[in-house]
Every structure is written in structure tokens, then in C-alpha cells.
Amino acid sequence: MEVYLDCSGGISGDMTLAALAHLGVDFAPLTAALEKAGIACELEIREELRAGGPGMRADVRWRQEEQPLRHPADIAAIFTAVDVSAGVRARALAVLDALTEAEAQAHRIRPEEVHFHEVGAVDTLVDILGVCYGLECLGARRVTASPLPWFSGSTVCEHGRIPLPAPATAWLLRGKPVFSPEGEEPSRQELVTPTGAALLHALADGFVNGPRGLLTALGTGYGSRPAAHGLRAWLIRPQAGLAGADHSMGGQEMVSQLETHLDHLTGEELGLALSALAEMPEVLDVLWLPGVGKKNRPSGLLRVLCLPGHEDTASRAVLRHTHTLGLRHQRVERLVLPRRSVSTRLGEQDMPAKAYEIEGRSYVRPEAGAVDRAARAEGLGAPALRLKYEAEKNGPVE
């Protein structure tokens, strides 16, 4: 499943929690786990009706009169101690790291010197852990978000009056798409909080203008601001064409084709990039076509195939491993033949293979990795192994 966050009304930690609660997430097991870890708090979820439609509000209530000053390491220790899955913990720590780095940049201090004041610390850790827990409960393997609304003005915090977006939020908004309604003045309220920005920075797989797939549910989360609209979280089931064909049945499927021309990498860097991309489970295939580019430089075309749902992950990987300054995207349709996994015998060895049919005739092709291992065991190359067993099967040529 995918969760698409429509952030046109803003985003904060409590708004995201409320939206997930409106989608049906029960946070009672999480608050019980937090209490076992020494965080005595309650998450109050209540229905809210505004112009944006029915939704929910989420407020964190703490049972202890005073809360200690907490540093990021303290919150990370709580995340480690709470009985949640490894996936929830990893996501929560990634959000905490993003928020810590932003606060450190905003105050020009080291990350370990960042601190979260009293109540804010409890709110922050519950918001972060709760959102990651809620996404797992919904089976959300992917999170996408809309462009973010622009806002300005100022607000008062413990450090005095600060501009909006807040310095930590401003740092996290770098590289994120924003919009300002045409013909309207930007909002003078804090539409995106530091925690909301950190959630998007760490969890969003991409920013898109709208979801793609089957809309299955909508959850709306309202915050403490008396705004008419809140955060809308759509639960999406990917369409068959976007998720990929069932290869046991075959058929048509859409794939994303990413391409870029490269002429600046060394041979070693190019080899490492091709290996890294080929090893990614999200990547279907990697192709390198050498040639000559502008100014007669040795160049080449890098082509990467992936399913549309993995396009953002694959694109970021191409940029990371090649440092190319441009990447072309296109959707293409491909035909997938029905195939099934079988075992075949090559000489005296059984090895995994794929069985398929073309024009009514059946074929079995051993897996390349198994052939390579068998060839190495006999001290042969893969072609020699194939020719050897073909000769044994068909007899010598006279």
C-alpha cells in the first residue's frame, strides 16, 4: 500500500498522527509500549468537524508533572527500548536524525547539543514514533506527498520571535517543491512545522501532484490551528499496471525507463555505479551503451529499468552513484512472457531454472548464477560447460 499526503493545508506531527488515526490506526498498543519504556503518556484522539470535512485531532497528554530536558540521544534510546518492529524503529530514528540535524544547523551547534524542552520532547517523540507505527499498521511500503504550501510571517518560541518558516523548517525544506496560491498572499501562520518537515524529509519517497492507483480510504488530520483545512492522507492500492504484471501469468506491464549520458566518470567509478544499481532489488535491469559524445569525448548511455512505484528510489540511486546533472524519465509498456521456476538437470547436477513457452514450444533455461557455479566447480567457462553437456546429450559430431 501507499500513503499519499495532501499537504496543501499544511503538515505537523500531530496532524499526521490524527490523519492516520482517521484511517483506522489504533495507537493504544503503542502508548502501552511507551509506558513500559518509561514514558507515561496518553494519546487523546477525538473527532473533529470543520469546513474541510470530518477528521480527527490528536493531543499528547503526559502523566508526570515535569518532563526532563531530553537530547536526541535520549529520545533515540527510548525508540530503541520501545517494543516496536525494526522497520518502525529505523523509520523513527531517520526522522529524529533529520530533525536533529535541522535544529543543529538552525542554532549553529553540534547535533549532540540539540535539546527538546520539557513537554515538546514528549510530543516530538510520540509524534515521530506514532507516525512510523501508524504507517506500518496500514501496510504503507511507500509514502508520497504533494508540493508544500508557502507561508511567511513570524512566531514566538522559547528563543524569542523567529521568522516563518522556522529556521529548522527552512533547512528541511531545501529541495522540496513549494507553491503559493496565485493571486493570494502567503499564509501568515505556520503551515509546516519542523516535525512535519522532518517526517517528509525522512519518509517521503517522492513529491507528486497527485496519487496514482486505487483510492481505498481517506483520513483527515486537524492541528491546533483553527484552520478550515487539515492534512489529508489517502491510502492507495497500486494498480496492476503500475505494480507490475504477474510473471507466472504473463501479460502487459508498464515500466519506468531512466536514461542519462555519462562522460565524466572514471572507468572504476562507472563499474562501481553499474554494480551498485544492478544489485538494487528495485531495479529490473541496467544497460550501458558506450559511444562518443560532444567534443569527441568517450561517452555512453546509461539505461535503468524499474517499476513505476520504484521510480523515485531508482532515480535517487542513479544520481547518487553517477553525479549526473540530468536524468530523463519515460514510461514504456513491455510484454512479459509467462514463466515459472523449475529444476533442470545439466549433466550430473540439478540446478534452478526458468520454464517458458514461445509459439507452443516449451523451453527450460538454467539460472545464470547456477551455471556459473557449476562451471567453476568443473574448472570450465560457462560456454564450455554448455557445449560439453550438449555433446554428451546429442553425441559427437561426425
Query: What confidence tens digit (pLDDT) does each residue in 30-69 have?
Result: 999 998 988 888 889 999 999 999 999 999 887 766 666 6
pLDDT at 130: 95
| Residue 3 region by backbone torsions, left for phi larger than 0, else alpha for psi between -120 and 50, else beta | beta
- Give CA–CA dist 202/229, Å, rounded: 24
Helix H or strand E encompassing 210 = none
Query: What is the pLDDT averaged over residues 349-353?
Result: 83
Calpha distance 242→254 (Å, rounded): 6
CA pair distance 213, 71, nearest whole angstrom: 41
- pLDDT tens, position by position, 168-216: 999 999 989 999 877 677 788 889 999 999 999 999 988 888 888 889 9
